Structure 1
Amino acid sequence: MKSIKAWIQAFRLRTLPLAFSCIFMGAFTAGIDGYFDGVILTWGLITTLFLQILSNLANDYGDASSGVDGEHRTGPKRTVSSGLITKEQMKKALYVFSFLSLASGIYLIWLSFGDQWSKVLVFLVLGLGAIAAAIKYTVGKRPYGYVGLGDFFVLIFFGLVGVGGNYFLYANSLDPMVVLPALSCGFLAVGVLNVNNIRDIESDKASGKSSIPVRIGRQKAILYHWFLIIGSVATMLAYCVIKDLSPGAYLFLLVSPMLFFNARAVKIKTTSEGLDPYLKQLALTTLLFVLLFGLGELLF
């Protein structure tokens, strides 16, 4: 029983709403343009589930191996560093979820493109890139998450690729306007990472991890957070106006107060324990933001 609880802890299921947000946004934007397939949505969610768990396990393993998750860490302890799961066990799990992500992704690509081999090849490369990005965030000789590049890769894979790529799976083409909701999702995903990095700013400094808040300081990181929150709402509004969507699409604005509440909390909460709940709050708010937009447009 302890082993099962340890693996569930390592999976960090609270991160899944954020990961699923870009999948739903891709499906909704495709549906607005007349493209949708429930089977593709289902396998998109399954593939994302495997990729997100892979990323979380790699983060657990990488932080323990590098010493970031050591005595100075102020955030929640990971399973490898706390001894709940051994490094060898975690390494095997990384192989398992890499295989599951690849197999699921290949099936998803085949469902969408069949024998259109040029598109299959492009998306296979993107899929391999997503797997590599999930692992290299904290694993390897020069993990990009430790040198302040995590925000960039999150914007790409949780935003532009996550939304735009999923739209393409449905439509087999790409509406340039989709970049706006893609940026909206990406900004909120980066916001979750920014809350995490502000929470851990002191322990990251002590361990040599150069996140964006470590590089620019807490006060500028708070301004950066406001930029991400406002940017997410502004880009979504721009998409709705340019596409001349129905009033129902604007239902996402109902959660705007929750986004600004998050930004205010990041400013006034100065302890790790005080900030930690706002990671989950922003992740769940992001999913609600997306669901209200899509369901409001498609149902009303």
Structure 2
Amino acid sequence: MTTADVSRTQAWLMAARPQTLPAGAAPVILGAAVAVYAGVFAPLPALAALVGALLIQVGTNFANDYYDAVNGADTDEREGFTRVTAGGLIEPRKVKYAMAATYGLAVVVGLYLVYIGGVPILVVGLTSIVAGLLYTGGPYPYGYYGLGDFFVFLYFGVVAVTGTYYVQAVTQAAGAFPTTIPAGTVPLDVVVVSLAAAGPSTAILVVNNIRDMETDRKSGKQTLAVKLGYRWSRVEFVAMVALAYVVPPVLIAVFGYPITVLLPLLSLPLAAGLTRTVLTRTDGEALNPALERTGQLLAVYSLLLAVGLVVSGVT
């Protein structure tokens, strides 16, 4: 399909990049599931966390599309999915307005979560939006300087899972708008669970950056993949995927979780096939599908772990 064949609706879907939404939803699902297991599940805060996370994800996608085009990072040589701003499918100002509107909706949803979670959630929400904007925007777009992987690991893993758990647990531990983190609302085992989302979420970015390594290098975009090269970027990918599969045995051995948390091991064949592709290919023809499959791996793994947690929590 050429850009001339793309309808306005298709163009906006391309800008929103729905294939990336598992990265926003998976950690919230895990945070809700571990809350069920711990007996602190609260449906409205969990739902608000999910909606807020997805809005921030879409807003960040709009921001990346806009700022990558403005900064000249998207060129004709790029092998990734079509970007609507650089491709001339949507006017830059409209993409910028969509970014602002989506983040604005996230703020509206966040007001409810701030009422429940207080200052800690206010800090999490604001820094999440700022991190999304500054990934490719602002005077020092940190995604261009090798810091994107760290922030994805932090916000799409640790912060998202523990934050989702917190807004549920805090309803039983404190009144409205707490100013500090009440005891027991961010236990260590939940932080460990968050690593199961942090690893595969970061792996998505690694695949993206391996695919774009040569064009990023030419445009001056110093992603971590550009800094590390193919060999060590692939090591990073394997480490991030492997991290997810280390989490269930640790939960069982250290925290006494039930054996049902081993359900994510059923996704190992998908992880193995994906890893073979990433270890041997650099072209968009192979890595574009691999990028989508990495998102699918995150979704499948997270759902399996969530089922293992929920089954144990309700029986």
On whether the aligned pair clears a TM of 0.5, the verdict is: yes
Q: Is the 8 A contact 1:18 1:284 kept in 2?
A: no
Q: Is the 8 A contact 1:155 1:190 kept in 2?
A: yes
Partner of 1:170: 168
- Scaled by the length of structure 2, what TM-score is found? 0.89
Partner of 2:131: 133
After TM superposition, the structure 1 = structure 2 runs for residues 54-203 of structure 1, keeping only pairs within 5 Å, are: 54-110=59-115, 113=116, 119-172=117-170, 173-203=185-215
Q: Is the 8 A contact 1:229 1:260 kept in 2?
A: no
Partner of 2:12: 7
Alignment CA distance shift 1:70-1:135 (3 Å): same
Percentage of matched positions with identical amino acids: 32
Deviation at 1:141, TM superposition (A): 1.9
Distance 2:63 2:241 in 1: 28
**Could you say what the CA RMSD is over the residues aligned between the two structures, in angstroms?**
1.4
Q: Is the 8 A contact 2:134 2:141 kept in 1?
A: yes
Distance 1:240 1:58 in 2: 40
The answer to whether the aligner puts 1:286 opposite 2:277 as a matched pair is no
**Aligned to 1:249, which of 261, 265, 268?**
261
Deviation at 1:72, TM superposition (A): 2.8
The answer to whether the aligner puts 1:21 opposite 2:26 as a matched pair is yes
Distance 2:91 2:53 in 1: 25
Counterpart code for 1:142: Y
Q: Structure 2 unaligned runs (5+)?
A: 1-5, 171-184
Distance 1:30 1:140 in 2: 37
Secondary structure in 2 matching 1:217: helix
Higher mean Cα deviation, 64-73 or 48-57?
Answer: 64-73
Count of residue pairs brought into register by the alignment: 293
Distance 2:240 2:211 in 1: 17
Partner of 2:173: none
Partner of 1:52: 57
Alpha-carbon displacement from aligned partner over 1:86-135 (angstroms, at most 9, x marks no partner):
1111111121112101111112332xx2xxxxx51221121010011111
Secondary structure in 1 matching 2:149: helix
- Scaled by the length of structure 1, what TM-score is found? 0.94
Q: Structure 1 unaligned runs (5+)?
A: 114-118
Distance 1:232 1:165 in 2: 19
Partner of 2:181: none
The answer to whether the aligner puts 1:36 opposite 2:48 as a matched pair is no
Partner of 1:263: 275
Distance 1:11 1:224 in 2: 27
Q: Is the 8 A contact 1:69 1:77 kept in 2?
A: no
Higher mean Cα deviation, 67-76 or 156-165?
Answer: 67-76
Deviation at 1:8, TM superposition (A): 1.1
Deviation at 1:163, TM superposition (A): 0.6
Counterpart code for 2:210: I
